[in-house]
Amino acid sequence: MEKHCTMVYFSLRESKQNKKGLSPIEVSITTNGKRIYFSTGKHVPAADWNKEKQAVKGKSEEAQLINGYLIQLRNKIYQKEIELLQKGYLITAELLKEAITDKVEALNEKTLLDVLNEHNTERKAMVGKTVAPATYWVFEYTGRLFKEFILKKYERKDLYLREINLGFIQGFHAFLLGEKKMGQNSCTKHLKFLKKLLNLAVANSYISYNPVNAYKVEREPVEVDFLDEEELRKIINFDTPLPRLERAKDMFLFGCFTGLSYIDIKTLTPEHFEKDNTGRIWIKKRRVKTGVLSRIPLLPIAKLILDKYKGGEKLLPIQDPADINKYLKDIAILCGINKRICFHFARHTFASTVTLANNISLEVVSKMLGHTNTRMTAHYAKLIDKCIGEQMDKLMDTFTGASDY
């Protein structure tokens, strides 16, 4: 039961009567020793008022209607008191009077999660049409990050839009970089979504200004990287007693030998596997990001990983993106790999080291990756050429020197 610091009392002002001889019923609100009176708008004969019960006597229809109204008014006052307390207001009798007449604008104030839920509800209906499932997943994930940050920093479940200021934005950015171990570009993605939500809030007149507009977030140039054969073998041979690292290693290797992205592995089900008339097992799955069909033969290492986790709650127990990327960085250090590995390395490694470097044609790799054309896949071929060129430069340096030729 809710505790109230406010007293509500109904009384009849007998000294005042209207032309019909009816006296007004008044309500008094007492808070912190201060009291305020105002009329309820209801009138009854003085003889019909029960002072002790603070109600109209009898069971007539009119008596029941007035008594019902007074009960509702009392409940409304207490409800407004709770709402104002939750918003951090110092409760006064005058404030409660304004609140029950809906003169306190803050009671209709929107929160950050209100706007998030409005946005996500609309976008959810568009998934598979104009919104990719992977994009919607990012919306939901950012929402979980908001909740985690607000609870950690403010010890609350939500914040009002008026409370979202430069300090909040800087704190959220630092939380993503430090607590969640995200790279700058991942942080930028979530901050841009925050900016989008606050632009919606401005458009709907919930707030007048978007504070993210004054906060500069820049993406860092991205150079697509992958593991070469030696580095990939180090991961394969990596042994650990820590279950979280072993699971991260297995999920990463499954990506390396299938080319599936994180979200496509997360949504993988037994229905996506098909055996042909030669006994070869295929993964046939539409990419969550684009809806394009990927057709990938199941390689032995990938099959071993599937068999290892057979019988679990999920086909593959892949961790949350932030967690698995953190574990992969630990694995890289332990393996002596001088690269900031993230899960998307797996798809790049499949396209380059596992397939193109082993003379699988560009067209075939393109089909397996679910690319809409070979131009997208050709990017990986350029990476292979760059890697070969760097290795040959080292070789040339070895044979450079004095010569009779």
Token pair for residue 34?
């201060």
Q: Residue ranges per domain, the chain?
A: 6-107, 112-214, 229-395
Q: Per residue of the chain (405 residues), what is the pLDDT tens digit?
A: 445 578 999 999 999 999 899 999 999 999 988 899 999 999 999 999 999 999 999 999 999 999 999 999 999 999 888 887 776 666 888 888 888 876 655 556 788 999 999 999 999 988 767 777 778 888 999 999 999 999 999 888 888 887 899 999 999 999 999 999 988 888 999 999 999 999 999 998 888 889 999 888 777 665 667 898 999 999 999 999 999 999 999 999 999 999 999 999 999 999 999 999 999 999 999 888 777 888 899 999 999 999 999 988 889 999 998 899 999 999 999 999 998 899 989 988 998 888 877 877 777 777 787 766 655 555 555 555 555 455 545 545 555 554 444
Q: What is the 3-state secondary structure (H, E, C) of the chain?
A: CCCCCEEEEEEECCCCCCCCCCEEEEEEEEECCEEEEEEEEEEECHHHEECCCCEECCCCHHHHHHHHHHHHHHHHHHHHHHHHHHCCCCCCHHHHHHHHCCCCHHHHCCEHHHHHHHHHHHHHCCECCCECHHHHHHHHHHHHHHHHHHHHHHCCCCCEHHHCCHHHHHHHHHHHHHCCCCCHHHHHHHHHHHHHHHHHHHHCCCCCCCHHHHCCCCCCCCCCCCCCHHHHHHHHCCCCCCHHHHHHHHHHHHHHCCCCCHHHHHCCCHHHEEECCCCCEEEEEECCCCCCEEEEECCHHHHHHHHHCCCCCCCCCCCCHHHHHHHHHHHHHHHCCCCCCCCCHHHHHHHHHHHHHHCCCHHHHHHHHCCCCHHHHHHHHHHHHHHHHHHHHHHHHHCCCCCCC
Distance between CA atoms of residues 156 and 158, nearest Å = 6
- pTM, entire model: 0.48
pLDDT tens, position by position, 344-390: 899 889 988 888 778 777 777 777 877 666 555 555 555 555 554 55
Q: Which CATH class is domain 229-395?
A: mainly alpha
Token pair for residue 72?
């509702």
pLDDT of residue 405: 42
Q: Interior CA angle at 48 toward 43 and 54, to 5°? A: 80
pLDDT tens, position by position, 32-67: 888 999 999 999 999 999 999 999 999 999 999 999
Distance between CA atoms of residues 380 and 385, nearest Å = 9
At residue 17, φ and ψ (nearest 5 deg) are: -135, 150
Of the chain, the percentage scoring pLDDT greater than 90 comes to 53
C-alpha to C-alpha distances, 231 to 238, 334, 341, nearest whole angstrom: 11, 12, 11
Spatial CA neighbour of 380 closest among 336, 335, 340, 350: 350
Task: Find out whether 207 and 325 touch, Cβ atoms under 8 Å.
Answer: no
Spatial CA neighbour of 116 closest among 86, 159, 176: 159
pLDDT tens, position by position, 87-106: 666 688 888 888 887 665 55
Q: In what order do the strands lie in the sheet with 281-286?
A: 273-275, 281-286, 293-297
Q: How far is CA 266 from the centre of its chain?
A: 17
Distance between CA atoms of residues 229 and 217, nearest Å = 36
Q: Write the burial class of residue 26 (CB in 10 Å: 0-12 exposed, 13-18 middle, 19+ buried).
A: middle
CATH of 112-214, one of 1.10.150.130, 3.40.50.1400, 3.40.50.10610, 1.20.1440.230: 1.10.150.130
